[in-house]
Structure 1
Amino acid sequence: MDGEFQGSHSGPMETFESLVRAEFTPKTTYLNTASNGLLPARTVAALHEAAVLRAEGRPLTPLHEDTEACRAAYARLAGVPVTRVALGASVAAHTGVIAASLPAGAEVLTAEDDFTSVLNPFHVRGDLKVRAVPLERLAESVRPGTALVAVSAAQSADGRVADLAALREAARAHGARTYVDHSQSAGWLPTDAGADDFSAAVSFKWLLGPHGAAFLVVPEDFGGLSPVLSGWVAGERPWDSCYGPVAELARSARRFDLTHALFTYAGLRRSLELVEEIGVPAIAAHDLALADRFRAGLAALGHRPVPAPGSAIVSVPGLGSRQPALADAGIQVSDRAGNLRASFHLYNTAADVDRLLTALSA
């Protein structure tokens, strides 16, 4: 990890390496961000402070402020107005709200073997036409009558990156809407959520936050969604909406909020601050350089990963069975459908890549 960057706030230049070293102290060779990102030190401290606040019976006002700060930070990262961002607990719940809005018989186009949270709520409706095609054929498969195209920006299983520009163009040409899950890309791949009708992302992977938070981006006019999961926090005046039906839903995307996991947002605020301080372009350059180093090393060993150019996730067919032994050796990767999946983020180094390659060569 070398090179310099200028943080998003005024101040002296600081090396990428020095900032990352101050925040992360992994005890293993951790190459598994596609499952869970590591928590920065500032996030761990914030979680502790939030717990103490609750334990001592003090007002929780700071935690509510953290929640709104997270909404604003994600809006900046996603490139959308904060009024378009709703807070929830999972991508599956957000997908469920979108699925509930579709008329019976509507066609939903999906990518084969995409992550379940992007798909299953459409299937369980039982009265939608869900069609799956290979990721590479998604754009060309949009047709008249397609109501919605749902896809992950980067595939969880193997890191393949969707051609979102082509997909959006095809969707517009046929009057379809788009729904993109950025869970495996937000934090390392620049996000243009404003170009899609709907998008979502969890907080605990590349955004380096705790579990329990997920973001939903909706159009300014809400895109025909009904806030079927909303409670008191979805009211225009939440504290006046605690009893009886909500008299007035929030005039922003907050009408789709689920009850906030306050501790999660207390920590996540600091994680998002770190991502913004370093900047997604710098993170992307770092992560992709490591992924390319791993691909080159695999080629030298005679292994061929799933083609996924421009991805921070590398998946190697036939090596998934090596995962338990690698874990025993202190190298954390995943076994996904028989493939060994390694994923690289800002706390990883070239030495981490080389250690994995050395282990695989044995």
Structure 2
Amino acid sequence: MQTITLSQAAVAEFAPETTYLNTSSCGLLPRRAAEAVKALVDENAAGTRGGAGSFDAVDAARAAFARLAGVRPDRVATGGSVAVHVGLVAASLKPGTEVLAPEGEFSSVVSPFALRGDLRMRYVPLDGLADAVGPETGLVAFSAVQSADGRVADLGAIRSAAAAHGARTLLDASQSAGWFPLDAGAYDYTVTGGFKFLLCPRGASFLTMTEESQAALPPLHAGWVSAEDRWNSTYGPVERLASTARAFDEPPAFLAYHGAEHSLGLLAEIGADALYAHATGLADRFRGGLAELGHAPVPGTSAIVAVPGLGVRTAELANAGIMVSDRAGNLRASFHLYNSEADVDRVLDVLGG
């Protein structure tokens, strides 16, 4: 696959001082997002703002994520972590419900279900997930792209199997949203941490839900932020929660959302198709170079490349100024708009000795 040239203006939003191939752990902040966060820090330090931040920024980030996810903003709840979003879904299930998930799925996607103690967990290989859905399955919880090795799930087959058996679906898009197409409305729930490929400060995350699935969620962290009328709900019990997904908003980390608004705006300017072609093209170049060196990366078309058994070399690469990660014994490299062919060649040179 050929890589594409992104606009110089987009690339100029970043100033990495390393060969940064670790977006799967944490994305780099664009200049505009960093400046927005710094501005809010200065206002809070100087006492020139009436509150800790603006709900306008939260709602702008909500709307920007909704456009990226292909849903209306009223189907998006904002929060601070994937685990909290998943916990709401876990709390909605009846005792004895079967939850089906891939083997080796990221902890935040499965732990809220497994630790309840009264749900039936079943784990199967990722490539057999669709075939494993059965009449006893109440929920299928899985990531679009696996954190440990970058494998992409067969989304269409899993959705079809779940629909055929009346099972709900929960999709984690934390390793895919931004570079991989996301149709959030096709799932009962999606959860997305914003600090990876969405390039947001940590503390911004998004939960989407269909109108039907919203009715099943308990208001476990209800407060004035999630009220229909926020500013007239600050004392005493909330009389009426928002009628939309905002009923499940968490109190916002304003610094994160002041940055998220601008990070998501940049991604909208670039477009998912352009980023997909750029990131997967670089990943494909990396896989080819690894094969020439005698390594066998996990196959597939993904912005994330994993090489089994090579995770032990992450410290060596870090000493050379190359940031990757060691996940489940894999050397994991991930590519984004701030990466180039020179980055790929640099890591291959070091790995080749």
Q: Decide: shared fold, TM above 0.5.
A: yes
Report matched runs for 1:42-121 at 5 Å.
42-57=32-47, 58-60=49-51, 63-121=54-112
Cα deviation, residue 62, structure 1? 6.5
- State the SS of the aligned residue for 2:298: coil
Q: Distance in 1 between matches of 2:233 and 2:164?
A: 42
Q: Distance in 1 between matches of 2:158 and 2:249?
A: 28
Report matched runs for 1:94-173 at 5 Å.
94-173=85-164
Match for 1:150: what amino acid? Answer: A
Match for 2:331: what amino acid? Answer: L
Structure 2 contact 11–337 (Cα < 8 Å) conserved: no
**What is the aligned partner in structure 2 of residue 8 from structure 1?**
none
- Residues 264-319 of structure 1: CA deviation (Å, up to 9, x unaligned): 10011000000000011100100000000000001111110122x12100000111
Cα deviation, residue 198, structure 1? 0.4
Cα deviation, residue 17, structure 1? 3.8
- State the SS of the aligned residue for 2:54: helix
Q: Distance in 2 between matches of 1:153 and 1:19?
A: 30
**What is the aligned partner in structure 2 of residue 297 from structure 1?**
289
**What is the aligned partner in structure 2 of residue 246 from structure 1?**
238
Task: Report which stretch shifted further, 115-124 or 44-53.
Answer: 44-53
Cα deviation, residue 64, structure 1? 1.5
Note closer, same or farther for the CA distance 1:252–1:42 as it changes in structure 2 (3 Å cut).
same
- Residues 9-32 of structure 1: CA deviation (Å, up to 9, x unaligned): xxxxxxx24123320010000000
Match for 1:96: what amino acid? Answer: G
Q: Distance in 2 between matches of 1:313 and 1:46?
A: 29
Match for 2:292: what amino acid? Answer: A
Where in structure 1 are there 5+ consecutive unaligned residues? 5-15
- State the SS of the aligned residue for 2:12: helix
Cα deviation, residue 206, structure 1? 0.4
Match for 1:68: what amino acid? Answer: D
Where in structure 2 are there 5+ consecutive unaligned residues? none
Q: Distance in 2 between matches of 1:175 and 1:17?
A: 45
- Residues 160-202 of structure 1: CA deviation (Å, up to 9, x unaligned): 0011100000000000000000000001001000000000101
- State the SS of the aligned residue for 1:243: coil
Match for 1:201: what amino acid? Answer: T
Structure 1 contact 53–59 (Cα < 8 Å) conserved: no
**What is the aligned partner in structure 2 of residue 220 from structure 1?**
211
- State the SS of the aligned residue for 2:191: strand
- State the SS of the aligned residue for 2:162: helix
**What is the aligned partner in structure 1 of residue 179 from structure 2?**
188
**What is the aligned partner in structure 2 of residue 321 from structure 1?**
312
Cα deviation, residue 61, structure 1? 8.7
**What is the aligned partner in structure 2 of residue 354 from structure 1?**
345
Match for 1:190: what amino acid? Answer: P
Residue 200 in 1 paired to residue 191 in 2? yes
Match for 1:51: what amino acid? Answer: V
Match for 2:342: what amino acid? Answer: A
TM-score (norm: length of structure 2) = 0.97
Which among 11, 23, 30 is matched to residue 13 of structure 2? 23
**What is the aligned partner in structure 2 of residue 285 from structure 1?**
277
- State the SS of the aligned residue for 1:239: helix
- State the SS of the aligned residue for 1:224: coil
Q: Distance in 1 between matches of 2:309 and 2:328?
A: 9
Cα deviation, residue 59, structure 1? 2.9
**What is the aligned partner in structure 2 of residue 33 from structure 1?**
23
Cα deviation, residue 52, structure 1? 1.7
Structure 1 contact 183–203 (Cα < 8 Å) conserved: yes
Runs of 4+ in 1 over 6 A off after TM superposition: none
Cα deviation, residue 230, structure 1? 2.0
Cα deviation, residue 228, structure 1? 1.0
Q: Distance in 2 between matches of 1:61 and 1:88?
A: 16
Which among 291, 294, 302 is matched to residue 311 of structure 1? 302
TM-score (norm: length of structure 1) = 0.94
Structure 1 contact 150–180 (Cα < 8 Å) conserved: yes
Identity %: 56
Cα deviation, residue 55, structure 1? 2.0
Match for 1:40: what amino acid? Answer: P
Structure 1 contact 212–261 (Cα < 8 Å) conserved: yes
Q: Distance in 1 between matches of 2:174 and 2:205?
A: 9
Cα deviation, residue 338, structure 1? 1.3
Q: Distance in 2 between matches of 1:21 and 1:228?
A: 42
- Residues 76-126 of structure 1: CA deviation (Å, up to 9, x unaligned): 000011111001111100110000000000000000001000000001110
- Residues 188-238 of structure 1: CA deviation (Å, up to 9, x unaligned): 001000000000101100000100011000111314111212221010011
